[in-house]
């Protein structure tokens, strides 16, 4: 009997996970909650929110799901792994307590200090006056991090005291983020990169390194976004760097979590920086990155079901095998993103694209607009016939692979030109570091 898998989430990351699962000979049915238009072509979309733990638990039970795979951190923080395990269901992802490695900056900083994992030195504050006095006596720019999940808006790099003051006021006095604690840390410099690893307790299995592009526009200009493109095959990282990051950062962090009684059982994502003083941690995430997953998972040559299921059940897994190809992916986002943007623009031309397209924020429109929650997950024609429309800030990611980055880049931009939609923009310089 083939296995039934439920994937939680509905962005490009989850599309890449569904795509990898669909390559497994063991998997016969994939559900995705809530999914999106592209995912709907490869899986059954289920109209449940990623944080609806009880609804998802009931669904997994009643649909005889053999394995659940969690994409977003919000679902992990909501305790989905704890709830599924308590009911004897196999689920890939960390417990809510272990997710603190991402959700609490102070937890992560303390862990790194205790176990000698290289990172910027820091001090944490809950009092505005104390924090301001500390920052006043230190060099600028100052890095201020709100302690808690803040949807990517919790980090301020203040150029001077005025900027620092206004950030500290909003974080500690206005309580605009909720909890009211701030980590102040040294400003580091150097290229950033993402190191995603499968972690099974103390066992760490590295994935290919990748680099995200956080700014909205070419030349790394404009506001910070969730990520406008990514690639593998980083030109500025040596084999020695990779070994250092694996041994002294990722493996140390996994063992540290075991020692703390919070073993990891999913993906650990090191947001790392190659500084003049060596590689240091900027942040840890407790999940696959987005858009990094879309360039990393296409390179996996092993069966991803074995990896997910082994880790979900705490059993040993075989070391995953990866292609030596490289990948490059470009995000197409709605005009206005990361600020406000309109939805519902029709996307044409996807059928003629000769490389991978992952959907990040799309839905289906048939005559009158349909919301995901109105769709029948079992009616395949609903998902395969209507027209595809934009429904998010980041909408599509086009990914090409090749033996070198120039080939992948040329293909991606050639294929993107075939996409016809009135409201999308993208960066023209993804992987520019590799071509300078």
Min dist. Cβ of residue 307 to ligand AMP (A): 26
The residue count for binding ligand GLY (CB under 6 A) is 6
Closest separation in Å from C-beta 417 to ligand GLY: 25
Number of residues that bind ligand AMP (CB under 6 A): 13
In contact, 246 and 208? CB cutoff 8 Å: no
Q: Quick check: 102 binds ligand AMP (CB under 6 A)? A: no
Cβ proximity to ligand AMP, 219 vs 314, nearer residue = 219
Compute the chain's Rg from CA coordinates: 21
Q: Which residue is nearest to ligand AMP (CB)?
A: 283
14 touches ligand GLY by CB under 6 A? no
Separation CA 49–CA 47 (nearest Å): 7
- Residue with the two structure tokens 């820091």: 122
**Residue with smaller CB distance to ligand GLY, 285 or 334:** 285
With CB under 6 A as the contact rule, the residue among 38, 289, 338, 393 that binds ligand GLY is: 289
Q: How far apart are the first and last CA of the chain?
A: 51
When asked if residue 73 is in the footprint of ligand GLY (CB under 6 A), the reply is: no
106 binds ligand AMP (CB under 6 A): no
Beta carbon of residue 128, minimum distance to ligand AMP (angstroms, whole number): 21
Structure-token pair, residue 359: 């959907």
155 binds ligand AMP (CB under 6 A): yes
Contact 100, 148 (CB under 8 A): no
272 near ligand AMP (CB under 6 A) = no
User: Considering the complex, what minimum distance in angstroms separates the CB of residue 101 from ligand GLY?
Assistant: 13
When binding is defined by CB under 6 A, the residue of 102, 283, 294, 303 that contacts ligand AMP is: 283
Residue selected from 67, 143, 297, 434 as contacting ligand AMP according to rule CB under 6 A: 143
Phi, psi of 424, deg, nearest 5: -115, 145
The yes or no reply on residue 290 touching ligand GLY (CB under 6 A) is: yes
Q: Are strands 44-45 and 27-34 parallel, antiparallel or unpaired?
A: parallel
Distance of CA 393 to the CA centre of its chain: 15
User: Distance (Å, rounded) from C-alpha 381 to C-alpha 384?
Assistant: 5
List the interface residues with ligand AMP, window 184-203 (CB under 6 A).
185-188, 192
In this structure, the strands spanning 3-9 and 67-70 are parallel
Q: Between 110 and 139, how does the x/- string for binding to ligand GLY read (CB under 6 A)?
A: ------------------------------
CB of 285 to ligand GLY, least distance (A): 5
Q: Is there binding between residue 106 and ligand GLY (CB under 6 A)?
A: no
Quick check: 285 binds ligand GLY (CB under 6 A)?
A: yes
Residues 6+ apart with CB under 8 A from 240: none
Residues at the contact surface with ligand GLY, assessed by CB under 6 A: 212, 227, 285, 289-290, 292
Residues at the contact surface with ligand AMP, assessed by CB under 6 A: 120, 143, 145, 155, 157, 185-188, 192, 271, 282-283
């Amino acid at each position: 009997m083939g296995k039934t898998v439920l994937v939680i989430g509905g962005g490009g990351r989850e599309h890449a996970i569904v795509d990898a699962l669909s390559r497994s000979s063991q998997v016969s049915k994939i559900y995705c909650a809530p999914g999106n238009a592209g995912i709907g072509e490869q899986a059954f979309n289920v109209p449940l929110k990623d944080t609806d733990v009880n609804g998802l638990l009931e669904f997994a039970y009643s649909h005889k799901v053999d394995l659940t795979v969690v994409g977003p951190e919000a679902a992990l923080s909501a305790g989905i792994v704890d709830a599924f395990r308590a009911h004897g269901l196999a689920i890939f992802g960390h417990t809510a307590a272990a997710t603190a490695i991402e959700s609490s900056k102070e937890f992560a900083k303390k862990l790194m200090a205790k176990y000698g994992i290289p990172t910027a030195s820091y001090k944490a504050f809950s009092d505005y006056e104390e924090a301001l006095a500390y920052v006043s006596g230190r060099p600028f720019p100052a890095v201020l991090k709100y302690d808690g999940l803040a949807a990517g808006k919790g980090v301020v790099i203040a150029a001077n005291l005025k900027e620092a003051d206004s950030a500290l006021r909003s974080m500690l006095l206005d309580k605009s983020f909720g909890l009211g604690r701030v980590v102040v840390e040294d400003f580091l410099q150097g290229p950033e990169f993402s190191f995603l690893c499968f972690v099974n307790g103390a066992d760490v299995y590295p994935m290919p390194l990748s680099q995200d592009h956080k700014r909205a526009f070419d030349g790394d200009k404009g506001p910070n976004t969730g990520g406008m493109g990514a690639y593998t095959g980083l030109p500025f990282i040596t084999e020695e760097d990779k070994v250092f990051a694996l041994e002294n950062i990722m493996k140390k962090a996994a063992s540290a979590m075991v020692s703390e009684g919070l073993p990891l059982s999913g993906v650990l994502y090191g947001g790392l920086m190659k500084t003049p003083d060596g590689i240091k941690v900027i942040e840890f995430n407790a999940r696959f990155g987005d858009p990094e997953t879309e360039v990393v998972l296409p390179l996996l040559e092993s069966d991803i079901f074995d990896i997910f299921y082994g880790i979900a059940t705490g059993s040993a897994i075989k070391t995953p095998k990866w292609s030596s190809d490289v990948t490059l992916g470009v995000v197409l986002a709605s005009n206005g993103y990361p600020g406000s943007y309109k939805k519902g623009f029709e996307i044409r031309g996807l059928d003629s694209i000769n490389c991978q397209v992952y959907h990040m924020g799309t839905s289906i429109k048939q005559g009158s607009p349909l919301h995901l929650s109105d769709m029948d997950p079992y009616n395949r024609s609903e998902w395969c016939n209507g027209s595809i429309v934009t429904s998010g800030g980041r909408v599509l990611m086009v990914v090409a692979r090749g033996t070198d980055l120039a080939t992948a880049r040329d293909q991606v931009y050639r294929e993107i030109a075939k996409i016809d939609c009135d409201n999308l923009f993208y960066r023209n310089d993804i992987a520019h570091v590799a071509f300078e």
